[in-house]
Structure 1
Amino acid sequence: MIEAALRILDQGGNPGREFGFLEYQDDLFQGHHLQCACLPFPCRCGGPNSSTRHLIRRTSVPLKEVEIFSDGACRGNPGPGGYGVVLKFGAHRGELSRGFARTTNNRMELLGAIAGLEELKHSCRVTLCSDSSYLVNAMTRGWLKKWKALGWRRGPGQRLRNEDLWKRLDAACEGHEVNWQWVKGHAGHAENE
């Protein structure tokens, strides 16, 4: 998926329009909001129209279980890059992908996870798999909570890189039970290749 996004960028195309996004709409996935134009780095997007961003509805029914597999990549760092996401819910499977003309590897890893979580319409029990230690460690070792408590800083006087995306990821996790799992990259895992 990511390689295809980079090929489209190389050919002068817009992967935001040319990619096959999650096409079906069932009761769980939004199915439409990532079909927006490619944005230059740094990006601050909430879907094609931030004002229409969907809020998660909270219900008392048992949480649906969803698997999200997310990967990001970049040619050069910074350089052209993209992310690919696979969402699995029962027999349903959807894919999201997007490319950017100038970005970084870490931004793509974060945006992939954000895109997967923002695609969910209802509160879910999510297993989110990524090969990004940067992402998974921040979420499982308490780094994100620490950064948030420090006013989105790494420490006194230390700026947090990708602050906009960490804030967005924090918001995207609200209403979900997220279990973060690190998977080894390019090691034959079917959903992480």
Structure 2
Amino acid sequence: MTIIAAADGSALGNPGPAGWAWYVDDSCWQAGGWPHGTNNQGELMAVLDLFKSTAHLPHEDLRILCDSQYVINCITKWMPGWKRKGWRKADGKPVLNVDLLKEIDQAIAGRKYTFEWVKGHAGHDLNEAADERARAVALAYQQGTAAPVGPGFPGALQAVAAGPATPGVAAPAAPAGQPVQPAPAASRLLAEPALFGESGIFGQADLFSELDDEIRPGGIPAEDVVLELERELLRPDVRADIGRVGVLLHPDFAEIGSSGRYWTRDAMLMALEENPGEAVVLEPLSADRLSDTSILLTYRTVARSGTALRSSLWVLDRDQWRLRFHQGTPEK
């Protein structure tokens, strides 16, 4: 028998109140979350809990439907290399979400499994069901209310219903079917660990939070937000961070590079992991809002290797600006 399940995560604000869930059917699913986490942590935790919840069926094939190429690539492509390097990336920096990845590495040992990428919010029944449950937990933490954690997997040896208080650290299990009881908002603020202390653009903890001025009245114009995100994406330290780049790039991202090569999202992530490139200076040319959900940037980059004219199409996807297409042309 093959177990088919969707796994998904949700973070309001990214980072912010976060939830995760896996879903087989209405009688077999589980969810949990944290007061503060990221989408990637939610996605990873959903996969980890699915493996733990099916550990009593080690000989069954497990087919995992996932809309996060970051998670799929972490587990199926990048993790072996990171382990050989002591859980460090090509640039020597620690791998993000390493605690969760180490637990997943242990949980998948000896298991038969495959991952299948599905496009999020595209009407896939299992993916939509997992997404709804993950988002419900995130909303519960945001509002200080209870959220159902699901019945779990029949015969599971141990549930992880509430999820760890801090991503990657196990928490006591809640009885199957019982609700999560998030702490009151005030106590969450006092007890919450500083997981995201690094300052990003505009003093925000997360570089890729939704900052659109139409969604946040009185905020920074969307054109300025996208320009700053483009600057961040050109920094070698950011480009070497697969997790951060994975959040910025749209699932359908494509690029025609200055060399004429066509790049897919997966190919770009793998290339940047090994070589994040040189530092460049961005000289803006224009930022045109094509619609409420799309902005076209044009600019010049100046580097030791020369100058290039570039264009980037950014789209608003799930309340977050993501790079959909990029093209570069060497300047003569």
TM-score (structure 1 length as normaliser): 0.62
Structure 2 partner of 1:131: 67
Matched, 1:143 2:57: no
Q: Which amino acid is the alignment partner of residue 74 of structure 2?
A: A
Whether the 8 Å CA contact 2:5–2:126 is kept in 1: the answer is: no
Distance 2:41 2:27 in 1: 24
Distance 2:116 2:43 in 1: 14
Which consecutive segments of 4 or more residues in structure 1 shift more than 6 A?
Answer: none
- Report the CA distance between 1:137 and its aligned residue: 1.6
- Report the CA distance between 1:172 and its aligned residue: 1.1
* Residue aligned with 1:87, SS: strand
Larger radius of gyration: 2
- The C-alpha deviation readout for 1:13-62, integer Å capped at 9, x for no partner, is xxxxxxxxxxxxxxxxxxxxxxxxxxxxxxxxxxxxxxxxxxxxxxxxxx
Of the three residues 72, 93, 100, the one matched with 1:158 is 93
- Report the CA distance between 1:122 and its aligned residue: 2.2
Q: What is the total number of aligned residue pairs between the two structures?
A: 126
Q: Which amino acid is the alignment partner of residue 162 of structure 1?
A: N
Indicate the structure whose relative CO is greater, using CA pairs within 8 Å and at least 6 residues apart: 1
Of the three residues 99, 110, 119, the one matched with 2:33 is 99
Structure 2 partner of 1:20: none
Matched, 1:170 2:134: no
- The C-alpha deviation readout for 1:116-158, integer Å capped at 9, x for no partner, is 1100112121111110111012233x20111111111112521
Cα RMSD (Å): 1.5
Structure 2: give runs of 5+ residues left out of the alignment.
129-332
Q: Which amino acid is the alignment partner of residue 24 of structure 2?
A: L
Distance 1:132 1:85 in 2: 13
- Report the CA distance between 1:180 and its aligned residue: 1.0
Q: Which amino acid is the alignment partner of residue 82 of structure 1?
A: G
Matched, 1:74 2:11: yes
Matched, 1:189 2:153: no
Structure 1: give runs of 5+ residues left out of the alignment.
1-63
Structure 2 partner of 1:83: 20
Whether the 8 Å CA contact 1:86–1:93 is kept in 2: the answer is: no
- Report the CA distance between 1:93 and its aligned residue: 4.5
Structure 1 partner of 2:52: 118
* Residue aligned with 1:69, SS: strand
Distance 1:93 1:115 in 2: 16
TM-score (structure 2 length as normaliser): 0.37
Whether the 8 Å CA contact 2:6–2:23 is kept in 1: the answer is: yes
- The C-alpha deviation readout for 1:146-193, integer Å capped at 9, x for no partner, is 111111111252110000001011111112111011110010000111
